[in-house]
Structure 1
Amino acid sequence: MKIIAVGMNYAAHNKELHHSLELSEPTIFMKSDSSLLKDGKPFFIPDFSSEIHYETEIVIKINRLGKNIAERFAHRYYDEVTVGIDFTARDLQNKLRAEGLPWEISKAFDNSAAVGTFIPLDRAGDIDRIPFHLEINGQKVQEGNTSDMLFSVDKIVAYVSRFFTLKIGDLIYTGTPVGVGPVKIDDHLQGYIGERKLLDFYVR
């Protein structure tokens, strides 16, 4: 099982992090299989970072084997969706980026990919118009809609499949909108697609 993630896929979030790149293709990075955090288990803040940020994202699950998928056929390769959190050690990421070094350890560390309960895509609506949000301690802190993506889900699936054979059960995190921020011990995170709560866990 692979966890594939897309960076910088919402323009307002790119401004938030002071990225001024004009992207012609999706920005792809990977998370390790040990990154997965599911079933409402708590997220433990690691000792190597003092600035762990949440990044709320729509996540799709691949349902068939695929390679070099044409964009017009990409929708055939997923039929379930949920909301997830791409946890980022922002202080570590900024340090590594400033030094021109790879920054996987700031993104792919253990339990950094929280994922909610998957639902059939037909219950979530049009993949290109899915509203989602995150609440922390009952307050809405981040909100987005897949209609604001720079690269659509189908375009991402097609692009990624040029480089990686997609296999059943692979997850794709499709990018985060504006509004990322830090988490702290005892925070209660709840993620929604529309009004449907699919993610619910605590930070410890």
Structure 2
Amino acid sequence: MKIICFYNNFPHQKQVFPLENKPLFYLKPDTSILTHNRPFFIPEFTDNLHCQVELVIRIDKLGKYIQTNYVSTYFHEIALGINIFDKSLQTQCIQNGLAWEKSTAFENSAAMSLFFPLDNIHSLEEITLGISKNQQENIHANLQSMVFPLETLISYVSSYFTLKTGDLLFLGSPLPSIPIQINDLIEAYLNHEKRMRFRIK
């Protein structure tokens, strides 16, 4: 199982790579998964940790070179995800043309809610994501500003490697990242309904 994270899928993210007209993605290992609202423990190497809320897609059948018109048959469940990363280290890696994994792929850096079926959701673009820290203002935005449609993302990434049952796709965030530190409480919302709540330790 692999975790594929798209980076330049919303306007504020695309500003980092303004000339790149194709999806950018990086991978996280399965050891980065954090579930069941367990606390996240800040790694010793970081002093500028950020997080952002994202929609997560779970692939449910094998696929390679998937055509855009068949993408909808490859997933039937979604979840909320909190992508945690070292912002300073990530910026340094980007500026120096280095791989990002050490800033993004560490232990428990991909927190997720439970998955639920798409039965009552007609369009992913209508979904609203939200995040709050320490029960203060809940900032939220919908997915209508996605730079690349989901069909394009899945078709594109499947041209590089086979997608397998259980693979997870973090689609990027319509919201800016927020800094986090010890004792912060992170809560995340899908369509204004709270789906995640965990503490930073």
Sort the TM-score into its range (normalised by shorter chain).
over 0.9
Q: Structure 1 residue 125: deviation in Å?
A: 4.0
Partner of residue 202, structure 1: 199
CA distance in structure 2 between the aligned counterparts of 1:56 and 1:12, rounded to whole angstroms:
14
CA distance in structure 2 between the aligned counterparts of 1:58 and 1:86, rounded to whole angstroms:
10
Partner of residue 11, structure 1: 11
Partner of residue 119, structure 2: 122
Partner of residue 34, structure 2: 37
Q: Structure 1 residue 139: deviation in Å?
A: 2.2
Q: Structure 1 residue 141: deviation in Å?
A: 5.0
Partner of residue 169, structure 1: 166
CA distance in structure 2 between the aligned counterparts of 1:123 and 1:201, rounded to whole angstroms:
26
Query: What's the TM-score, normalizing by structure 1?
Result: 0.93
The one-letter code sitting in structure 2 at the alignment partner of 1:10 is F
Partner of residue 54, structure 1: 51
The alignment-based identity, stated in percent, is 35
The one-letter code sitting in structure 1 at the alignment partner of 2:68 is E
CA distance in structure 2 between the aligned counterparts of 1:39 and 1:66, rounded to whole angstroms:
29
Give secondary structure in 1 for the equivalent of 2:119.
Answer: helix
The one-letter code sitting in structure 1 at the alignment partner of 2:129 is F
Indicate conservation of the 8 Å contact 2:143/2:174, yes or no: no
The one-letter code sitting in structure 1 at the alignment partner of 2:114 is T
Aligned length, in residue pairs: 201
1:90-105 superposed matches below 5 A: 90-105=87-102
Q: Structure 1 residue 182: deviation in Å?
A: 0.6
Q: Structure 1 residue 7: deviation in Å?
A: 0.1
Is there any run of 5+ residues in structure 2 with no aligned partner, and where?
Answer: none
Query: What's the TM-score, normalizing by structure 2?
Result: 0.94
Give the 3 Å change call, closer, same or farther, for CA 22–86 of structure 1 in structure 2. same
1:113 aligns with 2:110: yes
1:171-186 superposed matches below 5 A: 171-186=168-183
User: Which of 22, 27, 42 lines up with 1:25 in the alignment?
Assistant: 22
CA distance in structure 1 between the aligned counterparts of 2:172 and 2:83, rounded to whole angstroms:
9
Partner of residue 191, structure 1: 188
The one-letter code sitting in structure 2 at the alignment partner of 1:187 is D
CA distance in structure 1 between the aligned counterparts of 2:73 and 2:137, rounded to whole angstroms:
33
1:63 aligns with 2:53: no
The one-letter code sitting in structure 2 at the alignment partner of 1:59 is V
The one-letter code sitting in structure 1 at the alignment partner of 2:46 is S
Give secondary structure in 2 for the equivalent of 1:186.
Answer: coil
4+ long deviations beyond 4 Å: none
Quick check: which one's helix share is greater? 1
CA RMSD for the aligned pairs?
Answer: 1.5
Indicate conservation of the 8 Å contact 2:7/2:13, yes or no: no
The one-letter code sitting in structure 1 at the alignment partner of 2:136 is Q
Q: Structure 1 residue 156: deviation in Å?
A: 0.8
